[in-house]
């Protein structure tokens, strides 16, 4: 997936195509896993305010989803065909975040007259590498 694909996503959601937004989204596609605001700040050459503002805009438009408030926010790229939430796992030692798409929560699992506005479905512990090297 390239910057042309990301540009179409931005335009489709009524957003201007900016270098900052393309760079942020490209990191999500390249890494293919959830990313923290801290990681984006360390990796990209933009100030914290620019990253924060763009994360909020992309989240409000549904392009990204904030999956945790910890660590100033952990975000995931929303796939257009996504119908369920899956478990995310953050290693407390190496800080990597893993997706477990086989462990899921369906949006329509709640009883009638309940609506999810946000959901944090994230576990914390040691990943397999850190567990072995611990």
Domains in the chain, number: 2
Same domain, 48 and 25: yes
Q: Are residues 54 and 93 in the same domain?
A: no
Q: Verify that 53 and 73 share a domain, yes or no.
A: yes
**Final residue before a domain boundary, out of 77, 95, 116:** 77
Six-digit token string for 114: 């309940």
In terms of domains, do 44 and 93 share one?
no
Residues contacting residue 68 through CB under 8 Å, at least 6 positions apart = 74, 88, 90, 120, 122
17 and 39 housed in the same domain:
yes
Give the whole-angstrom CA distance, residue 86 versus residue 120. 10
Q: Specify the pLDDT at position 133.
A: 86
Same domain (yes/no): 67, 117: no
Residues 10 and 45 in one domain: yes
pTM of the model: 0.70
Residues 25 and 42 in one domain: yes
- For residue 129, is pLDDT > 80? yes
- Do 48 and 113 lie in a common domain? no
Looking at the structure, do residues 40 and 101 belong to the same domain, yes or no? no
Rg (CA), the chain: 16
pLDDT of amino acid 2: 81
Selection from 28-32, 57-61, 121-125 with the highest mean pLDDT: 57-61
Same domain assignment for residues 29 and 62? yes
Retrieve residue 19's tokens.
Answer: 């270098």
- Domain span holding position 43: 3-77
CATH number at residue 113: 3.30.1490
3-state secondary structure of 86: strand
- 69 and 104 co-located in one domain: no
């Amino acid at each position: 997936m390239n910057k042309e694909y990301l540009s179409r996503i931005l335009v489709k959601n009524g957003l201007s195509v900016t270098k900052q937004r393309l760079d942020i989204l490209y990191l999500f596609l390249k890494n293919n896993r959830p990313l923290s605001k801290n990681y984006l700040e360390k990796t990209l050459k933009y100030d914290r305010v620019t990253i924060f503002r763009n994360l909020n805009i992309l989240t409000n438009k549904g392009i990204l989803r904030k999956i945790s408030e910890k660590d100033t926010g952990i975000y995931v790229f929303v796939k257009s065909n996504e119908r369920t939430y899956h478990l995310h796992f953050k290693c407390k030692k190496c800080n990597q975040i893993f997706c477990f798409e086989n462990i899921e929560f369906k949006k329509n699992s709640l009883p009638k007259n309940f609506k999810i506005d946000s959901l944090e479905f994230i576990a914390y512990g040691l990943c397999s590498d850190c567990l072995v090297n611990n």
